[in-house]
Amino acid sequence: MAEMGSKGVTAGKIASNVQKKLTRAQEKVLQKLGKADETKDEQFEQCVQNFNKQLTEGTRLQKDLRTYLASVKAMHEASKKLNECLQEVYEPDWPGRDEANKIAENNDLLWLDYHQKLVDQALLTMDTYLGQFPDIKSRIAKRGRKLVDYDSARHHYESLQTAKKKDEAKIAKPVSLLEKAAPQWCQGKLQAHLVAQTNLLRNQAEEELIKAQKVFEEMNVDLQEELPSLWNSRVGFYVNTFQSIAGLEENFHKEMSKLNQNLNDVLVGLEKQNGSNTFTVKAQPSENAPAKGNSPSPPPDGSPAATPEIRVNHEPEPATTPGAALPKSPSQPTEAAEVAGGTQAAAGAQEPGETAASEAASSSLPAVVVETFSATVNGTVEGSSGPGRLDLPPGFMFKVQAQHDYTATDTDELQLKAGDVVLVIPFQNPEEQDEGWLMGVKESDWNQHKELEKCRGVFPENFTERVQ
């Protein structure tokens, strides 16, 4: 009997739930069609929007925090393997072996401690924070269902109240008909039965309305208080979470910095003991890029100007005799004049001392400079058939013409336009010459000012083509 009773209760409950679902579905359809009004609460709807936004932000933060923890763990593994490699290559007879091993152990412990504290102080707090959302979300959904039940009960009760007068009219009409066909006592009983039935339906509808309203209002009041409080709590939670992460990371890097400094001290001691075997890391320059800081871009086309021929003497530099070097600066006119005057007077017959000086100069300078100096000593300059010409800058070597525009990027560079003629001169200090760059003065500037200090500058060789 108990089992049958249990089954009966279960069946009744299922039937009741099915009936509620049908009633709610019918009510929602009527509301969508505009045949039934719907209770609205804009303030609560705003709270629900804030709740959904807060849940989305918290879920994303939890996901990113887990990703961060996974990265910390990966870095720990990489650091551990790197230290294991150091322990393997650190030979037993090297000084500081025990200290290096101890540093590696402390490094491993520091990573473990950092990861565990992140889990305890950030991830678990994050999980607790998000743990309250599912229950509130289900209560919001339940509140929505109870609101539909309340609206349905209200509409049912209102419909009965509206039909009250119609029901009284229906009751009066049969009485007038029965007066002709039934005894007086029967008419009174029939009227009383109909009135009682109508009142019973109205009373039941009123009771259902009061019950539905009470259940809805209880849930609504609780959520109206809880949702704003939850929304405001997000500020303190975010502050505490990121403060914890920032503090843990700061302490971790401080301790890790100390370990790295200790390891560096150990390796410095090892270097001092084996200083003669120090390995020097040398940068590998690009094969085609000029060495100057502001490297010029190649010309826009593949013209021959991109690869002019320059002959440079790569032979070892023997020691030079004092006073035999070529004057390095055009700002020394006295010495330059003495060299020019001496060479003109002794054209075709050089003294032994001059020959030695010329040979010494040629052995200490690039071939380009040496050729110019030799030509000047012999009384001729390339591009001229007689003695040194006074209308050319001192040390003039050859002319080039710009094939492309070049915009200067530094104060010591020449601004070129296609077609400009440049008089190439040697660098004051040959060691300052970078590969791919020449020193010169534009012919137009030289003819106008005759001053090297104001007019000369460097320019990219691959933007020009030699014309003389």
Q: What is the pTM of this model?
A: 0.49
pLDDT band, very low/low/confident/very high, at 308 (cuts 50, 70, 90): very low
CA distance 49 to 43: 10
pLDDT band, very low/low/confident/very high, at 377 (cuts 50, 70, 90): very low
* Whether residue 340 has pLDDT greater than 50: no
Q: Identify the residue whose tokens are 């040398």.
A: 282
* Whether residue 19 has pLDDT greater than 60: yes
Query: What's the CATH fold of domain 304-466?
Result: SH3 type barrels. (2.30.30)
Sequence spans of domains, the chain: 20-273, 304-466
- Residues forming a β-bridge with 422: 400, 442
Measure Cα distances from 269 to 106, 266, 274, 279, 285 in Å.
Answer: 20, 5, 9, 15, 32
| 441 φ/ψ angles, rounded to the nearest 5 degrees | -135, 135
Instruction: Give the model's pLDDT for residue 374.
Output: 44
* Whether residue 414 has pLDDT greater than 70: yes
In CATH, what class is 20-273? mainly alpha
- Mean pLDDT calculated for residue range 167-185: 52
Two tokens, residue 301: 């086309």
Please state whether 434 falls in left (phi above 0), alpha (psi between -120 and 50) or beta.
Answer: beta
